[in-house]
Amino acid sequence: MIIEPRTRGFICLTSHPVGCEQNVLSQIDYIKSNPTTNGPKKVLVIGASTGFGLASRITSAYGSNASTIGVFFEKPPTEGRPASPGWYNSAAFETQAHKDGLYAKSINGDAFSNEIKAQTLKLIQDDLGKIDMVIYSLASPVRTHPDTGERFKSVLKPIGETFTNNTVDFHTGVVKEISIEPCSGDDIENTIAVMGGEDWQMWIDLLKSADVLSEDFKTVAYSYIGPSLTEAVYRKGTIGRAKDHLEATAFEITDSLKDINGKGYVSVNKALVTQASSAIPVIPLYISLLYKVMKEEGIHEGCIEQIERLFNERLYAEDLQLDAQGRIRVDDWEMRDDIQAKVLELWKEATTETLPEIGDLEGYRTDFFNLFGFNVEGVDYDKDVNEMVAIPGLQ
């Protein structure tokens, strides 16, 4: 079939298998030329199909020949209806990994559930024995608690006061003011239940009790801080409370792994266009200005460059360069004083008229469509493609 992008608000309903494949192959090439010395060998990636999780899987597999198991929640294709992009990404990754003689298997289902955890554990026991790294990279709006069956929904809201600031609709380029009402009721607790650290801890507890974590095991989850501009809706909002909880969980995990010298870390990453971040108000305007400034300075990175730097210059380097709160920082370039000062200046001038000049709206759009395999260089979108692509290592 011929597949074209069909967008509705901040999501794209279609995705292109060849474009997704091309994105994965480019990331593989990047890591092949930037391998990791003494990198991980047997890795579980939870949230492995898109964004930072996919980049972590590729960096493990192609940076240090790691065997990888990927867990994700993606929609398979049906006749005439493309799969979600993470499906095609995983198909492309596992096809290439198998060609290159790398172990790569995956499980598609709800990582928050006891069933998927048990299935993953069994696969590790059957195929890998012990693993030396778990990457935790889930981004989800909902979580059903595995023990109580209660369904929690996360919200992206400020706490205490209404937040008013500018945002951009990146499809139309219209910059306008929006107001977000403060959270209410159980919003904070619910957001912590979805995006906090409880599920990460559950995974590690299970794997530890089954004795499948090797000596010097590491686990890493991803967090975000960002500038004062977005603070009220992000880091000091409901999602920020969940990130506080996730960050605190890293220390609890380290405590629980003392006997194997295991470590839990949080890495604070850069703001990037992903399916998760496009849905957060104000962030798209910030990102389009940030991209402009970082590209001008020659320090722009995508997911793969971020994770390559995380592995090669932090996790598997001499010095983790932890901050005062014990976190790994690969948002260091985003947060540089000179970069933030420039973004803040531009923010004051950003209007519908000025943004195409002063911001990188085009870069934002390109990245957004790239997430779904569209607007990818070298792909012929007029050519018929088979939507019924299989993931070769899918269990």
**How big is the site for ligand NAI, counted in residues (CB under 6 A)?**
29
Q: Taking CB within 5 to 8 Å according to partner kind, which of Na ion, ligand NAI, none is near residue 224?
A: ligand NAI
The residues carrying an active-site annotation are 234
Which residues face 164 on adjacent strands? 179
Question: What DSSP character marks residue 113?
Answer: S
The nearest distance, CB 297 to Na ion, in angstroms, is 26
Compare residues 50 and 95 and give the one whose CB is closer to ligand NAI: 50
Query: Residues in contact with Na ion, total (CB under 5 A)?
Result: 5
DSSP code string of 331-351:
-TTTT-HHHHHHHHHHHHH--
User: Could you tell which of ligand NAI, Na ion, none binds residue 333, using a CB distance below 5 to 8 A set by kind?
Assistant: none
Residue 50 near ligand NAI by CB under 6 A: yes
- If the CB atoms of residues 62 and 200 are measured against ligand NAI, the closer one turns out to be 200
Judged by beta carbon distances under 5 to 8 A according to partner kind, the member of Na ion, ligand NAI, none in contact with residue 272 is ligand NAI
**Are 84 and 15 within 8 A, CB to CB?**
yes
Q: If contact means CB under 5 to 8 A according to the sort of partner, which of ligand NAI, Na ion, none does residue 21 touch?
A: none
Which residue is at the shortest CB distance from ligand NAI?
Answer: 51
Rounded to a whole number of angstroms, the minimum distance from the CB of residue 380 to ligand NAI is: 26
Smallest distance, ligand NAI to C-beta of residue 193, A: 13
Quick one: tokens of 129? 């024995």
Other CB atoms within 10 Å distance of the CB of residue 126: 9
Taking CB under 6 A as the binding criterion, the range among 43-51, 172-180, 292-300, 387-395 that sits at the site for ligand NAI is 43-51
52 binds ligand NAI (CB under 6 A): yes
Residues whose CB falls within 8 Å of the CB of residue 14, separated by 6 or more in sequence, listed in order: 3, 4, 5, 6, 82, 372
Residue range at the interface with ligand NAI (CB under 6 A); choices 162-170, 266-274, 314-322, 340-348: 266-274
Question: With respect to Na ion, which residue has the nearer C-beta, 17 or 53?
Answer: 53
Helices (H), the chain: 17-32, 51-64, 85-99, 114-123, 187-195, 198-209, 228-231, 238-256, 275-278, 283-296, 303-310, 337-349, 355-358, 361-371
Tell me the residue length of the chain.
395
Indicate which single residue of 40, 86, 363, 393 sits in contact with ligand NAI (rule: CB under 6 A): 86
How is residue 26 written in tokens?
């480019």
DSSP track, 153-188: E-----SSS-EEEEEEETTTTEEEEEEEPPP-TTHH
Interacting residue with ligand NAI among 224, 234, 311, 368 (CB under 6 A):
224
Q: Which of residues 273-312 bind ligand NAI (CB under 6 A)?
A: 274-277
Alpha carbons 319 and 290: distance in angstroms, whole number: 28
Identify which of residues 214 and 220 has a Cβ nearer to ligand NAI in the complex. 220
Distances (CA, A) of 220 to 62, 138, 199: 18, 12, 13
Return the residues of window 35-64 that contact Na ion according to CB under 5 A. Answer: 47, 51-53
Mapping DSSP to helix (H, G, I), strand (E, B) and coil, where does residue 129 land? Answer: coil
**Range 167-196, binding ligand NAI (CB under 6 A):** none
Query: 214 or 310: whose CB is closer to ligand NAI?
Result: 310
Q: Is 59 in the site for ligand NAI (CB under 6 A)?
A: no
Among 10, 26, 41, 73, binds ligand NAI (CB under 6 A): 73
In this chain, which of 48, 207, 350, 379 binds ligand NAI, going by CB under 6 A? Answer: 48
Binding site partner of 325, from ligand NAI, Na ion, none, Cβ cut-off 5-8 A by kind:
none
Nearer to ligand NAI, 40 or 47 (CB): 47
Cβ 64 to Na ion, closest distance in Å?
20
DSSP code of 143?
Answer: E
Q: HEC states along 230-248?
A: HHCCCCCCHHHHHHHHHHH
Residue 301 half-sphere exposure toward CB, CA atoms < 13 A: 21
On the CB side of 44, CA atoms within 13 Å amount to 32
- Chain residues that interact with Na ion, rule: CB under 5 A: 47, 51-53, 137
Q: Which residues sit at the interface with ligand NAI, rule CB under 6 A? A: 47-53, 71-74, 86, 110-112, 137-140, 222-224, 269, 271-272, 274-277
